[in-house]
Structure 1
Amino acid sequence: MRSTIELIILATAGLIAGILAGFLGIGGGTVLVPLLVALGYTPVEAVATSSLSIVITAISGSVQNWRMGYLSFNRVIGIGFPAILTAQIGVFLAELVSSRLLLFLFGCLLLLNVYLVEVRQQITAHKKQQEEQQVSDSAISSNQNILFNPVFARILTGGTAGILAGLFGVGGGIIMVPLQIVLLGETIKVAIQTSLGVIIITAISACAGHAIQGNVLWIQGIILGLGGLLGAQISTRFLPKLSDKTVSLMFRIFLVILSVYIFRQAWMQP
């Protein structure tokens, strides 16, 4: 049986992950996987248990977004459906790769998204300039910024998120948010709110796949999830009040810090 101190650490980490989930549109796995590895669990156990926690956290945040009128079910379903299938591909790959390689790839993913955050900032700024120059409703403005066929863009976004969910134990929001902005022309806040809804689907699919393999630590995952439930309720209430610049800066700092830690953990693996 785990010590009381470890249970407190897990609950606190879940709270922090939930706050980040609501603010940044991620499931929180980027916090939870490194934490679980630091507590002595294997990388594949960390990935699997993180996916269980993310299910609870994402449901909490999405329910709050829905109550506040900030969640579009059409957007969520369009991106989430392909993620159900590809999450199983990620689960399969997680079983094949070594612990060192899994952590190294996770660190590379974090660094890639530091760049993608900068890309989405530039696109968002460009979109605002366009909106200032023309008088049109938000739907028309959004469509003018779509760079690819919307159906293809949603399949690509959801499919990529699903693989990441199964492979790395993240909800997939870490890639869904920038892809929605780049491919679908969404604003950063809409992308975050939609991402959190899709994460419910990706996390359930990934968790089910890992549960079949016997990788999920149920007690730890539930404790993390309950902490995340509270954190997501807090952050989703404050997200609409924050500027896009503030949210993006938080995201980038967060990713850099975690990438350094993950690479260190990968180096220490036998």
Structure 2
Amino acid sequence: MFVGLAFFGVLVGFSSGFFGIGGGTILVPALIYLGYDIKMAIGISVMQMIFSSMFGSYVNYKGGVLQLNSGIFLGFGALFGAALSGFIVNALPQIALLIMFAATLLMSIYKFFTAPLIPKSEPNESKFLLFVVGVVIGAIAISTGTGGAIFLTPVLVGFMNWDIKKAVGTTLFFIIFGSISGFVSLASHGLVDYSAGVAVGIGSLIGVYFGVKLSHRVEKKVQKRALLILYVIMFVLTINKILSEMNVL
């Protein structure tokens, strides 16, 4: 089982490094398929994110694609926004949360698709604006069960004129904040299988290294297309989930 979990960690880590995401959308379904309870699967996934996001961010920093100062303000904003997620989840039914996720994802796809590969103006690195962005995305992401990077990259590229490679590198750093906070919370409630988390985490260290390296080498056009494919797949799956929920209602 340890070897199998480590193998999944390699795949998830590679995806995290290349796309700048946490990897939960891949790992959680895989763990459920292996027989883990969904809550325990989320705990293992969050523990894995600490491994992949920290090591991947180090590799990105050495490669010159991590905006460290900007990432810190985004991260602190996410911590504040995540604190609002409890109120949002309690106030809204699941169908409303799914619709909010789908609408935000659709806007992200549009802005990312229409954004030029080469920014036409200087990137906006306002510390206050980055903090606000972190708050909003942190609140939406945690309320809908995602790490937030899938929303953050289109915002940085489409709205704030960031280079796509620096955006991907910074979003992986952004995940560090949420994953540590989430791990502490989940662990305090006994929802983390530490041995499984270590196995997946060790595998993710290998995967994220090669994912980040490939992210640095591929053309921006190729990376943008790969991200768009990922976003469209997630949007289709979300719409399918919404339709299923409506049928239940």
TM-score by length of 1: 0.75
Q: Could you say if the C-alpha distance between residues 13 and 221 of structure 1 is closer, same or farther in structure 2, counting changes exceeding 3 Å?
A: same
Identify which of 135, 159, 172 aligns with 1:159.
Answer: 135
Aligned partner of 1:223 in structure 2 is: 199
Distance 2:55 2:182 in 1: 18
How far off its partner does 1:213 sit? 2.5
Distance 1:107 1:54 in 2: 26
Q: Could you say if the C-alpha distance between residues 54 and 69 of structure 1 is closer, same or farther in structure 2, counting changes exceeding 3 Å?
A: same
Identify which of 177, 198, 211 aligns with 2:174.
Answer: 198
1:178 aligns with 2:154: yes
How far off its partner does 1:195 sit? 0.7
Q: Is the 8 A contact 1:91 1:209 kept in 2?
A: no
Q: Secondary structure at the match of 1:185?
A: coil
Partner amino acid, structure 2, of 1:240: H
Identify which of 218, 222, 246 aligns with 1:246.
Answer: 222
Q: Could you say if the C-alpha distance between residues 110 and 159 of structure 1 is closer, same or farther in structure 2, counting changes exceeding 3 Å?
A: same
Unaligned 5+ runs, structure 2: none
Q: Secondary structure at the match of 1:69?
A: coil
1:13 aligns with 2:12: no
Aligned partner of 1:117 in structure 2 is: 109
Identify which of 142, 163, 185 aligns with 2:122.
Answer: 142
1:70 aligns with 2:65: yes
Q: Secondary structure at the match of 1:205?
A: helix
Distance 2:126 2:14 in 1: 30
Q: Is the 8 A contact 2:106 2:235 kept in 1?
A: no
Distance 1:192 1:65 in 2: 9
How far off its partner does 1:165 sit? 5.4
Distance 1:229 1:170 in 2: 20
Unaligned 5+ runs, structure 1: 131-140
Q: Secondary structure at the match of 2:56?
A: helix
Aligned residues: 245
Aligned partner of 1:134 in structure 2 is: none
Q: Is the 8 A contact 2:104 2:151 kept in 1?
A: no
Partner amino acid, structure 2, of 1:190: K
Distance 1:110 1:36 in 2: 24
How far off its partner does 1:17 sit? 1.4
Q: Is the 8 A contact 2:51 2:205 kept in 1?
A: yes
Q: Is the 8 A contact 2:101 2:140 kept in 1?
A: no
Q: Could you say if the C-alpha distance between residues 114 and 23 of structure 1 is closer, same or farther in structure 2, counting changes exceeding 3 Å?
A: farther
Partner amino acid, structure 2, of 1:119: K
Q: Identity over aligned residues, as a percent?
A: 27
Distance 1:169 1:217 in 2: 19
Q: Is the 8 A contact 1:165 1:202 kept in 2?
A: no
Aligned partner of 2:23 in structure 1 is: 28
Q: Is the 8 A contact 1:24 1:192 kept in 2?
A: yes
TM-score by length of 2: 0.81
Please list, as runs of the form range in 1=range in 2, the aligned pairs for 1:82-121 lying within 5 A after superposition. Answer: 82-90=77-85, 101=94, 105=97, 109=101, 112-113=104-105, 116-121=108-113
Q: Is the 8 A contact 2:114 2:158 kept in 1?
A: no
Aligned partner of 1:44 in structure 2 is: 39
Q: Is the 8 A contact 2:6 2:203 kept in 1?
A: yes
RMSD, aligned CA: 3.3
Partner amino acid, structure 1, of 2:184: A
